[in-house]
Structure 1
């Protein structure tokens, strides 16, 4: 949205509609102690009812306040557009726990999936942490993360409004006692989603497809199981979040359709890095980073032979999923047979 369109929107729409479409604008008004403006009026009409000395305290008038609001809203929109332009990230190696140099570096393009494998405690989560904070040689590993080939300034890294990375951790706990519908509605507004109603329905439907057990729009988010919570947040990340980089820590423990989840994220041109012990996920990725003793030991391309073996892994996985479903439903487990390839 260009500044002229934003200015027209600010000038002609009631304050309530502006806030409904851009919830963070509430913070703008609070900064100028204007949270009591009559929200049924346009900004200009509402300001006419305020004492003239109120704005004078901040060294502004009605015209300059309107321009400041236009700039504020334009910044929000521009940040979202900038995040959508991220084409690739680069991980430049630092040092492992023994202080030895990591000789590997890796560039990951939008739409790619990279798995991170290694023993428990080897440092997989630490690598995710470096990417999450967009490290610039200032973490214990001394790694550096480049965006589109460029290092980032501290302002770019720590600007909370410019969140480039979304992380889905092993443990997800909701603290707000909202139902699913209200939770998604808040996210849709805060992320400036177009066609919010459609996006909310899309997220809900997708989350129910991913989850092992269905839930409703009226279900409290605090009552969701671990798998349901993870499914909801994956759908939220895919359809609502503009963060182009997604970090996932051990999705195999969430009780969801993890292959479908990864496919969903890459379809939306996200850069996905996933820490995993799951062979299906590890080999479904384009590449995998092998972690050893806290460092990047090597980077492997998924070979043609490994890709071919995925057929057998998927057959075994489908059997395990069917058994889990029978157990969930209280049924007796049926005998299963699987014909593995001779390759």
Structure 2
């Protein structure tokens, strides 16, 4: 099931709204409706929409910075707790991560600055009184939208710069540290800082009986914990070579073999795919799913060259598992041909990487 709704495109990026966002609407609209009736409901809805447009701009900053480095953004997803620019899998240098992490807060800073000057202009024109700049004192009006957005964007800016995962400040901290120490150590320090901040927020939430602060603390703690686990996984992926775990070639097929030979091989081997060879040169691969499809279609005892996939991404046995993982994701191929000194050694596939 698709849990997000398309809203359109912004600067070439797809903007989507997660359906859980609608859980936030009553919380944002109800207080205004109770106090100001239908006008309050409309005002609450407009304010919420304007706020999330600002959040979309924040995520757009991340996406534009990623585009600068040739990294595609699959979509910008708006969630009840904020937004998320979903980038294609890519290994970032510390400098790239730092620029991408800070691009979002930079956009929010510019939006906040524009709102500040807008409020100043409204005060200068007499449309807004300095004494009413406290948003809680304002009734629904365009001035209220301006003041509320100014306050909320200021909070958003400060919150995102907290040096804790999964916030932008946490990623910026890790990137900055990684310029001086190893990425693994930088991740460890950044996650420890994030968990420490989460612990302090829990104490503050208990002392002030602030449920929302407790939720934020949990959000930060879980984000730091997830990044810690991912850091350990990346340590393995970047230190183990494909040649260390890819066994030498198992059962292969020759270009002149027929479907019956593939069926026989599939019955006695657990391989997910079979390389099709011409001598020692690989020409393509046949997957078990290709065999099943051919049998269901009644293709007869056809030649394997009619079934095989010819365009296979290639990896070297010295490539790290992370490089191979990115190849799988980038090409969308179910198999990759692994070579050692330009000699084919085996097909690799996700199920085979255990």
TM-score, scaled relative to structure 1: 0.28
Give the structure with the higher percent helix.
2
Higher relative contact order (CA 8 A, sep 6+): 1
Indicate the structure (1 or 2) with the bigger Cα radius of gyration: 2
